[in-house]
Amino acid sequence: MAFSARPRTVWKIRSREFALGERTLVMGILNVTPDSFSDGGAHRDAEAAARHALALLDEGADLIDIGGESTRPGSQPITAEQEIDRVLPVIGMIRRERPDCVLSIDTYRSETARAGVQAGAEIVNDVSGFTWDPKMSAACAELGCGVVLMHTRGRPAEWKTQARLAPNEILPLVKEGLAQSLERALSAGIDRERIVLDPGFGFGKAGDTNYTLLAHLDELLALGQPLLAGVSRKSFLGLAIAGGEKVAPVSTRGNATLAATTAAILAGAHMVRVHEARPAVEAVRIADAILANV
């Protein structure tokens, strides 16, 4: 596939707009959890989490995605109350220090989405694509926030035992699932200009099927929405680094993350979700410079 310029569009969030396609946006990951696959427990304390968010912004992140529940393979769900208790203090601290920064709440629960947006988040990032909480689409329509709809195959507790997909099955599955999530959002009254789609690398996709999805990411642009790609530190990168059946540790996946992130941009991603902002910003600038000459 030759590189191709991304469609340019405007992403309307709650109180402002982002121009998408002119340059790639960098979404910094902030996990306020004890058990996330990459940095669980590192930012569990609200003050430490807020400091990390400010550091990500200082390193060039355009927005921060705050999550209070891990969705790593095999993770167990928590209650909405627990999730809200984790994220709201962090949102408050960040907003006090940087009142103009853009925050996203990473949740599949309508209660948490409402609490997060009311506390100052502008975006709801739902890893289930509006499939795990029947009230979520109506809540986001009412809140008037931006939304990210991710494709997920099954639940985290199922991923380790799921049947593996053939390479030719992955793209149709993701495309159809995202189309259904998009229709669910539109039917709820959410404006198309508020919606970004995410293919959900690693979310119910095992091993090499993630590379098939990455290689054909541009085909998802046919759905008519901007794309977000979250490949940072994912296990499929660790498999390729180590070779065979081994998986390289999370701490060694930084260079692989930059390679996959750059590939995603050149394949059509308008926004990337990353754990480390500064190296991602540098990779983004190179990828954007290439696309400027297509």
Residue 115: in which H helix or E strand, if any?
helix 110-119
Given 23, 153, 194, 234, which residue is catalytic?
234
Given 109, 273, 278, 285, which residue is catalytic?
273
The 3-class secondary structure across 182-228, one letter per residue, is HHHHHHCCCCHHHEEEECCCCCCCCCCHHHHHHHCHHHHHHHCCCEE
164 annotated active-site: no
Question: Residue 248: CB partners within 8 Å, gap ≥ 6?
Answer: 237, 238, 239, 241, 242, 256
273 annotated active-site: yes
Residue 126: in which H helix or E strand, if any?
strand 123-126
Contact by Cβ (8 Å): 75, 103: no
Three-state secondary-structure class, residue 288? helix
Three-state secondary-structure class, residue 67? strand
For the chain, how many helices (H) and strands (E)?
9, 10
Active site residues: 234, 273
